[in-house]
Amino acid sequence: MPETLRISTIITCFNGAAFVADAIASIRRQAIPVAEIVVIDDGSTDDTAAVIASLAGDDLFYHAQANQGLPGARNAGLEQSSGDLITFLDYDDVWTDNKLAIQVPLLQAQPELGMVVGYAQTMRLVKQLDGQTAFEPYDAPAPALSMNGAVIHREVFERVGRFDPEQKYCDDWDWYMRARELGVRIKIHEDVVHYYRRHEHNMTNNVEVGNQHTLMMLKKSLERRRKQHGAAQSLPSLLKRDD
């Protein structure tokens, strides 16, 4: 990777004291180093600030703000970051150790790509025989339109725009839909790069609200395509590995 190509990782965090150290550790284990880890504390009321302070380093930058929700926190992270390549990690998830070693060369090998996205392995918190809890794999790895599994050229955000603050859920899906509508080239590869850790405080536990925002996201996409083409044209399949 050219020395001038810098990678930023944005961690969005709300009451993440129990998990955020794991997220940061997984970033720091990467063979290709991340130039800056930007933690956006979105109105936490727990010990998140103290945990981040205990992990201080030249690569770690902390920004606290009043609660704005996930898309607002991600937008703040984009404003605070300066890398040529943008990555994201939710405070309660972790990357595989080889994420960037796999994805950065894939992105460099095809200059026409705007981003690459890997597979996610869902993990669930399970009580062990000794009474402790640990995350264990659940279901098979799968492709996921999540920001956590992607490496994205910064200029793609200038083309597509920021995350929609109205999409408190599905803001990543909404952003991917807008990127696809604009013809941004996306490569999906089958390597697992992200561990999605399920626990009792996940945002996605609220299924009803999540479904409402999914419908809102799809409606917005249909309306944009109708406005552009006069009819809602189908988007190219993401299952084509060279898209």
Q: 222: which 2 tokens? A: 């249909």
Longest dimension (CA), the chain: 61
Q: What is the mean pLDDT of residues 66-86?
A: 97
Please, what is the angle between helix 171-181 and helix 207-229, to 10°? 20
Q: How far is CA 117 from CA 14, 93, 143, 151, 186, in A?
A: 25, 16, 8, 7, 7
pLDDT tens per residue, range 180-232: 999 999 999 999 999 998 856 555 545 576 567 678 777 776 777 777 766 66
Domains of the chain: 7-229 (3.90.550.10)
Looking at per-residue confidence, does 12 or 199 come out higher?
A: 12
Top-ranked range on mean pLDDT: pick from 77-86, 121-130, 201-210, 226-235:
77-86
What are the b/e assignments for 151-180, b being 16+ CB within 10 Å?
A: bbbeebbeebebbbeebbbbbbbbbbbbbb
Q: What is the mean pLDDT of residues 166-187?
A: 91
Q: 185: which 2 tokens? A: 């080239």
In three-state secondary structure terms, 151 is strand
Alpha helix (H) residue ranges in the chain? 20-28, 48-54, 70-80, 99-109, 154-160, 171-181, 207-229
